[in-house]
A and B are shown apart, each in its own frame.
Chain A
């Protein structure tokens, strides 16, 4: 567990003051550029010295400004994957990975194999692509067996496909090696693929921390982050693939009712798939519409509603399908339809608005909780 207690850091006009705890296996730090995300990470890693407060990792004091205590970075066992891979250019990928390794050969083989970098071990960093470098950097950090792994926007320079490949592995590694991860990004959907536990930074302060939907519906966050681009990230299974129709049917494993129709795009029956649907791409209605081209029409129940001056976020629960979604609707629409907690409604999602973030091995089936049914007109 990582504890930042009244930590203060000042540089020129910028002041970071952080008071928060990281207790989850994976926590995301989200904030706009200049919010202080990287500064916070550098304070935890020991690359910057706080002028106030205390940083404690698993009961070990890493920095205590009042007592003048400061553990240098090499003694902290805090691993960092930086935005840029920072590989040592004079060493091969293999030597880079082993630099600082505290791990066994078996771990090396496993990590290298999972990250699919075994073919490039003899290469120098300058011969590697951006994605390969970042995977080597990740392997290097993991093999040093840190007590906590900090990731500072590690996917910034990677293309969409690479991000899709790497993100599921982070979760695997975190669980497999029991290393808590703090993942920094200004792409909320990247964080939401890993965790809903979030620390929101704004202008050098911790604006809020906790489960993201809870933060949104408890109010305040929308005013703090007016430009917040929310995202519904769902992990589903490919239940059917209809190549003739060019579409796939997605659902929760073990549930008999399909929930979403998606484009077939590189999907295979049985595999798990992570999709993204933006709240503004979900429409809400009071009844299913047979004469509508949108085939994804899910009966659901409104659980929470919150809003700013111009729009509302509505949390809907399609319990039969094991889904919770957040939709964004205008204030007049909300009033007109009477969208309030407890109200039953139908959500409409166009196939083309379902974005596939990544695919993986089949997921184990969930315990069945009973289904009502869905309309797939």
Chain B
């Protein structure tokens, strides 16, 4: 029996999973911190930070890719610093991770922010009266109670990065084995006269992975809630 995917297609799939996983990990800690700060604190400039975080959601992805080139290109402010350290990001898989991470970041922040906002502050007060300092309150009460939102945001970001196209192709190019992720490969196959079936296979796989990610998110969230004895009707 012939294998379902060719070697090149498997390479695309593995690269996509690698980029999406890395992007999810990269987004996790900054996403939780940003979500917490935006959800819990009122300070001057909060709205500006909020707008900047959400910008990738409303900007055309190509524009985000262009901004990244300006920042990380050899003449860009960050690119110059990195060049001085002999680090090159642009047109590498790291660029694909960065592009996908920035595009998925608002999704993590939105979900995490809402999760933190929904944590009952009275529980944190109760913990404080029991002698728990802010650090202990955060890690033993706030964070565990926000977990369903954090899981949902993280997996949403994973699924989003899997489908990221515009910013990735602009910032990291379409290099086989380096930056050609699933959507880029599908796009490439569509351009080829005999690439229709490969494109269809990869498209189907994309749908499958995305559905699995969403289902996993739902499953984990429900599991966390079930551990607390909360059952959805």
Contacts and interface: CB of A to CB of B under 8 A. Distances in A.
Interface of A: 45-47, 72-80, 82, 84, 86, 88-90, 99-100, 102, 124-127, 140-141, 144
Which of B120, B122, B228 gathers the greatest number of chain A CB atoms within 10 Å? B228
Contacts of A73: 125, 128-129
Interface of B: 120, 122-123, 125-134, 137, 140-141, 144-145, 224, 227-230
B230 A89 contact: yes
Q: Is the interface of A mostly helix, strand, loop or mixed?
A: loop
Given A74-B133, A144-B130, 9 more contacts: A73-B125, A74-B131, A86-B120, A89-B228, A90-B224, A99-B127, A99-B140, A100-B131, A126-B228
Nearest to A95: B140
A82 B120 CA distance: 14
Contacts, number: 75
B145 A80 contact: no
A72 B128 contact: yes
10 contacts: A47-B129, A74-B129, A74-B134, A88-B140, A89-B123, A89-B145, A89-B229, A90-B145, A126-B229, A141-B130
A90 B144 contact: yes
B137 to A, nearest CB: 8
Nearest to B126: A86
A58 B219 CA distance: 51
A358 B140 CA distance: 38
B117 to A, nearest CB: 17
Nearest to B147: A90
B227 A100 contact: no
A101 B23 CA distance: 41
**Sorted from nearest, which 7 A-B pairs have the closest CB atoms?**
A100-B130, A126-B229, A124-B229, A86-B126, A73-B128, A80-B129, A89-B228
Nearest to A146: B129
A82 B122 contact: yes
Which of A80, A90, A127, A141 gathers the greatest number of chain B CB atoms within 10 Å? A90
Given A86-B126, A88-B123, A99 B132 contact: yes
A140 B230 contact: no
A258 B224 CA distance: 60
A75 B130 CA distance: 9
